[in-house]
Amino acid sequence: MAHESESGLPVQPVYGPGDLDGWDPGQQLGEPGAYPFTRGVYPTMYTGRPWTMRQYAGFGTAAESNARYRDLIAHGTTGLSVAFDLPTQMGHDSDAPLAHGEVGKVGVAVDSVDDMRVLFGGIPLDEVSTSMTINAPAALLLLLYQLVAEEQGASADRLTGTIQNDVLKEYIARGTYIFPPKPSLRLTADIFRYCRAELPRWNTISISGYHMAEAGASPAQEIAFTLADGVEYVRTAVAAGMDVDDFAPRLSFFFVARTTILEEIAKFRAARRMWARLMKEEFGARNPRSLMLRFHTQTAGVQLTAQQPEANLVRVAVQGLAAVLGGTQSLHTNAFDEAIALPTDKSARLALRTQQILAHETDVTATVDPFAGSYAVERMTDDLEAAAVGLLRKVAELGGAVAAIERGFQKREIERNAYRIARETDTGDRVVVGVNRFRLDEEEPYEPLRVDPAIEARQVERLARLRAERDGGVVDRELAALERAAEGTENVLYPMKRALRARATVGEVCDALRGVWGSYEPSGHL
């Protein structure tokens, strides 16, 4: 019986030397840490130290999230990953009418430098690596983080971490955009310049395929559309006058890890090889670090089930193993109860323990790229690369990622694949344990974590107190300076930082930019 991969590519029951006819190991593979980085971006990979273990967390108030972060650090997390609530992601304050009912629900509410100070209270920011899942207002949250670090006395050149800052995938798959594409890309270029001068160790963008995968993208679509967005960001920065080797070493990526281990390993290997060739051949990058596709991975939230949620512990372990065998630089493992609600302290700790078992109780850290030379994985890597290159070519023929977004191409292709997956699940051709096979007549009760609805009222009170205490005249002057910078060509991050230091809120800063740049209105294609 023929079997298809998640990308719809044929998977053979047996692979052998004939499947690699004409295959040149020197050209296709290389050595670990060497071009084209198929085998990993570093020569020693995990044999020296394991990947960075991040746990994505954030809910309710800054104080509640701070308690979760400190607990995770105490239990061995080596990197923090911040989830922001929907109003913060959309550039609205907690007291805005559009924020009602959403404050603190899917992440932490951060309205000002006061909240950021509480969020990282007691955590030395020059000793942790922090990833922030924030896109349209990424510059604001990065500057708030820097302001708090300065208050702690931390040197800016010691701050390490990543802002997601990938607005193009918001137009494709997620929807938390604020500004139209052109000013959004201008803001991205300003962030690249600012970080090169002020935060040299900070990863300025995490170009994300994860959310496309959550929307239904296949592995081939995930890497093709993600790399197409990466090409658009590089072109924007080069057009703004930056040398590719001045910013490309700080680019990073973010992918999903599904339960299909072999195809996921092949996906990561193909993505590294494709990016290295794009940067070398299309942009003439010379610095080896500019050619490296360094990436963070999160296990597949879309594959978690509310039915028999404990079974998700197994799914997450398998997905985490796929990410590690594929050569990820950092990893977040989902909690088993995230299909139901925000994770509890216990489930978050179990998710971290999953990574620690992979790192310390298995032998996957003993050797680099253990699947190199596997007939199956090498053929799947080549097949995935060919499929993804074909999709990249289609995006290029449409004029690049932004032009393709405006035509609805990526969204349409992802929706087509999502429909295929849903149809296969409904018919039973795709087995989902606990959902369409191996079901229970009655589910066991489970008590999820619930966010206190009074959080919104408390955030509104904090904002009222902030506005009463600050110097409103200074805030107004700094916001006016930001508007002038947005109208011209000045890097907007410098006046933005001054406004935030004066205790302007996230919503006020975003409203100032909305007044100049406008808000994005999707076309009929989206």
**Pairwise CA distance, residues 44 & 49, whole Å:** 9
Domain ranges of the chain: 29-427
pLDDT at residue 525 in the model: 46
The whole-chain average pLDDT of the chain stands at 95
pLDDT at residue 2 in the model: 65
> Per residue in 104-130, pLDDT tens?
998 999 999 999 999 999 999 999 999
- pLDDT at residue 284 tops 90: yes
pLDDT at residue 97 in the model: 97
**Residue 161, SS3?**
strand
Compute how many other C-beta atoms are within 10 angstroms of the C-beta atom of residue 167. Answer: 27
- Nearest 10 degrees: CA dihedral of 447, 449, 453, 458? 150
Centroid of chain to Cα 32? 24
Among residues 334, 298, 344, 299, the alpha carbon closest in space to that of 64 is found at 344
Q: What is the mean pLDDT of residues 476-496?
A: 98
pLDDT at residue 289 in the model: 97
Q: What is the mean pLDDT of residues 230-256?
A: 97
Tokens standing for residue 130: 């922090």
The tally of CA atoms less than 13 A away on the side-chain side of residue 179 is: 25
Among residues 120, 140, 117, the alpha carbon closest in space to that of 130 is found at 120
pTM: 0.94
Residue corresponding to tokens 């700080």: 250
Among residues 293, 302, 299, the alpha carbon closest in space to that of 173 is found at 302
- pLDDT at residue 78 tops 90: no
Answer positive or negative: Cα dihedral of 124, 129, 135, 139: positive
- pLDDT at residue 72 tops 70: yes
What's the count of helices (H) and strands (E) in the chain, helices before strands? Answer: 20, 11
Tell the CATH topology of 29-427: TIM Barrel (3.20.20)
> Per residue in 163-191, pLDDT tens?
999 999 999 999 999 999 999 999 999 99
Among residues 316, 304, 305, the alpha carbon closest in space to that of 257 is found at 316
> Per residue in 13-64, pLDDT tens?
999 999 988 877 777 788 999 999 999 999 999 999 999 998 888 888 999 9
Residue corresponding to tokens 């060739």: 277
What does each C-alpha distance from 371 to 39, 201, 249, 378 come to in angstroms? 9, 32, 27, 8
Tokens standing for residue 38: 């198929």
208 beta partners = 254
Tokens standing for residue 11: 């998977």
% of the chain at pLDDT higher than 70: 99
- pLDDT at residue 483 tops 60: yes
Q: What is the mean pLDDT of residues 453-475?
A: 96
pLDDT at residue 524 in the model: 52
**Pairwise CA distance, residues 80 & 357, whole Å:** 19
**Pairwise CA distance, residues 230 & 277, whole Å:** 13
Q: What is the mean pLDDT of residues 420-434?
A: 95
**Pairwise CA distance, residues 207 & 40, whole Å:** 18
Compute how many other C-beta atoms are within 10 angstroms of the C-beta atom of residue 121. Answer: 15
- pLDDT at residue 91 tops 50: yes
Tokens standing for residue 292: 């490296």
pLDDT at residue 56 in the model: 82
pLDDT band (50, 70, 90) for residue 272:
very high
